[in-house]
Amino acid sequence: MKSQPINAIDDTLLAVAERQPQCWRVLLVRRGERPSVLQAREFARSDDDRTSADIAAWLTAERCGDLRIVLPAAATIVRSMPIPAASPAQMLAALRLHAEGMFLDSVPMARIGLGTIDGATDAERQGVIVAWPSSQAGVTLGPKLERITRYVPEPAAMLALASAEYPAIAADRAEGSIAIAMRGPSGMVLRATRETSASAIEGDSAWNDGLRSALVETALNAGIEPARIKAFLAATEATASRNGDRVLMLDPSIAQILGSKVTAQCSDSDSEEWWREWAVLLGATVAACSALSELTRLRRVEERNAPSRVERFIETCSQPSHALALALGAFVVVGVAPIAAAWVRSTVLDFKIPSSRSEFEPAQREIEHQIALYGELSMRTLPIAKILGDLACCTPDGVELESIELSQTQGVSIKGAAKAQGERTAAEIVNSMARLMDSSGVFEKTGWRWNMPDGRGIFKFDLDAVIARPALMPDFPEERDWAIKTLSQRKYGSGESEETDEPATGATASTQPPTPTATAAATPNGESTPPEVASGAASTDSASGSGTTGVIPSRGIGRRDPNTTPPAANSTVAGSGTTPKPADPTKPATAGSGAGAGGGPAGTAQANLAIPEPFTDAQLSAMSKEEARTLLSEISKARRREELDADTRKRLTEDFQRILERLKEVK
């Protein structure tokens, strides 16, 4: 069984202290209906904290945790007002509202005391408000005892000392403080005033005149007739007792008045002189243990929870000296730190490359300029090949692209034809292409328009989209990313050609995956050029012709997998007896499907194209650049026809190369 901890503090004990010219007087009191004074001690005053340490040690030994210090009247402001008689809680609430309206937060509530006393009639009570302004230091016993210290205003202590015949007055010439409590026909008058320092310097006569003036004003406020003022002053001054600069004016029977309210167990308590000397402390004790206890709980600093780090930082920075130091520190960091960092960097460079610094810095600046230039170009130009590859990954089966126009400001415009695939209609296929483009992140606001489909379900469409983020690398799924695996590899394996006994008829050719028949390369101004010219004659003969089968192409534009194996050189196709020319793996793949392959409107259109007539070198030299490009386009379309014989195909190929060489020479 654990032993219960012993309480080191006796809650029934109370210590009341008052500063005297040569010492500190302290009473040890036990609370109760009638307070009992247990001890009365004096501690010599010193310039250091020795007095505070002695009092703290004595209170600890006596197990007292509540200390009240009498606050001089010069440090306080006293206001009184009549209030209707009610419960104590209601009267204190009314006084608190009066105090808040009177001081308007200029005095913290911890430095305001409230109390009620008897009024002139039974229907009224007199409210007392005592305030301790923050500008007044008052008295203290040091930080060691501040935690358990409360302050008793001297006027509140005088309330228990005033009788019906004589006022209670405590004055201190050194502090210029005067506290007066007086009962009169108008009720209790409580006053705290201060004499000017000039009056204290002039001598006793000036000090006595100021004290008499304060007493006369108080008597008039209490309702004493002016004719009785002179006799009143004479009777009051007859009760005065002086101890250095301190003056007390109390009822001659003060011992009997206090003895009826306080019990004293001290050895010297039998003497009436002791009761007069300790009268202020005894009056403070009576006030602290009675209904006036709210007047005796003033604190120097308001109690609150421990502030957080942010609150402590804000409070610290609110002080002018700390704010100035913080501003200087910020100036050093902002103004001096970059210079110091540059000097350190220069020193390190000199240490590491002492002989090459003059060469290193220009090279470093050149690299930084290039990075800035390329960064600006990436925002102002379009990566054409990359965008075409993204379009290829967004193009589903059943769509044939006829033209693509790219523009920095107008976005992308596509013309093409769509054909139903299985259970999917042509409209569903084009709509899926629009969704794929929007979901890629490269394009947005994709919209398309179409004409009425023909009897075979094929219809032309126009598709527009905004190029939102041209440099974004979209996260295509693996089944649509032709850079990972081309469409031909997914459908037909590694791409190696195999012998087949089936003739390459129009029906079999139409089963190959559809590819764009005419892909246009975009120019900076948004115009398109024929694909053969834009690719720099990179295309070769497509694997087409009667009974001839070629390499199945990749859907991705410019994203051909270089590891794709071309068809074997000795592979033949049944029904033709011809050997196809090996495909160059470095060139984009073409296909026999789509235009010219049958089964679609593009194939029907190319079947009706006329084969260009042969021309001589002189005729070619006489052609303009535009005429040569037009002829090159016609030859390119004618080469896609399936029914061409070997001689005609060879002649068209040679004419195609001659025109390309001519276009390279013309600038």
The predicted pLDDT at position 47 comes to 66
- Measured CA to CA in angstroms, residue 281 lies from 24, 291, 354, 404, 579 at distances of 11, 17, 83, 103, 128
Would you state the pLDDT for residue 530? 41
- Give the pLDDT mean for 555-565: 41
Q: Does the pTM exceed 0.75?
A: no
Do 509 and 637 fall within a single domain? Answer: no
Residue among 127, 145, 135, 200 nearest 24 (CA): 145
Let me know if residue 303 belongs to a domain.
Answer: no
Alpha helices in 493-540 (DSSP H): 506-509, 531-534
Q: For 53-111, what is each residue's pLDDT tens digit?
A: 889 999 999 999 899 999 998 889 999 888 888 888 888 898 899 888 888 878 888 89
Is 328 a domain residue? no
**Do 490 and 635 belong to one domain?**
no
Tell the burial category of 82 from Cβ atoms under 10 Å away from its Cβ (0-12, 13-18, 19+).
middle
Could you tell me if residue 327 is inside a domain?
Answer: no
> SS3 of 616, please?
coil
What's the structural domain count of the chain?
A: 3
371 found inside a domain? no
User: What digits encode the pLDDT tens for the residues 520-552?
Assistant: 333 333 333 343 333 333 333 333 333 333 333
402 shares its domain with 536: yes
d(CA 285, CA 38): 12
Domain boundary among 585, 600, 620: 585
Any domain includes 472: yes
CB of 287 within 8 A of CB of 315?
A: no
Q: Are 269 and 282 in contact (CB under 8 A)?
A: no
Residue-range definition of the domain harbouring residue 144? 13-296
> Are residue 625 and residue 574 in the same domain, yes or no?
no
Asked if the model's pLDDT at residue 357 lies above 70, the reply is: no
Same domain, 211 and 245: yes
Residues 101, 224 share a domain: yes
Phi/psi at 2 (5° precision): -75, 140
At CA 263, angle to CA 258 and CA 268, rounded to 5? Answer: 85
3-state DSSP call for residue 152?
strand
Residues 6+ apart with CB under 8 A from 334: none
The radius of gyration computed from the CA coordinates of the chain, to the nearest angstrom, equals 54
| Alpha carbons 52 and 623: distance in angstroms, whole number | 116
Domain boundary among 585, 617, 639: 585
Are 541 and 470 within 8 A, CB to CB? no
Determine the angle formed by the axes of helices 426-440 and 384-394, rounding to 10 degrees: 130
**Which H or E run includes 134?**
none
Same-domain pairing of 466 and 579: yes
Q: Containing H/E element for 83?
A: strand 77-84
**Whose CA is closest to 187, among 135, 110, 120, 254?**
120
Dig out the tokens for 391 from the structure: 């379009």
In a domain, residue 377? The reply is: no
Return the percentage of the chain with pLDDT > 90, whole number. 15
Q: Which two tokens stand for residue 229?
A: 């003022």
State how far the Cα of 179 lies from the Cα of 172, in Å rounded to an integer.
9
Domain shared by 468 and 569, yes or no: yes
Reference 64, options 11, 24, 17; nearest CA is: 11
- For 336-454, list the strands marked E by DSSP: 399-407, 411-418, 443-450
pLDDT tens, 196-237?
A: 644 444 556 787 888 888 888 888 888 888 888 888 888 888
Q: How far apart are CA 449 and CA 597, in angstroms?
A: 26
Residue that terminates a domain, selected from 242, 270, 296: 296
Residues in the chain: 667
Domain membership of residue 313 (yes or no) is: no
Beta carbons of 502 and 552 less than 8 angstroms apart = no
Q: What is the pLDDT of residues 110-169, one digit of tens each?
A: 899 998 888 767 677 888 999 999 888 888 888 888 889 999 999 999 988 888 888 899
Q: Are residues 94 and 187 in the same domain?
A: yes
27, part of any domain:
yes
Enumerate the β-bridge partners of residue 444: 466
613 and 574 belong to one structural domain: no
* Residues 577 and 615 placed together within one structural domain of the fold: no
111 secondary structure, DSSP code: G
* 643: confidence class by pLDDT, cuts 50, 70, 90: confident
Q: Are residues 275 and 147 in the same domain?
A: yes
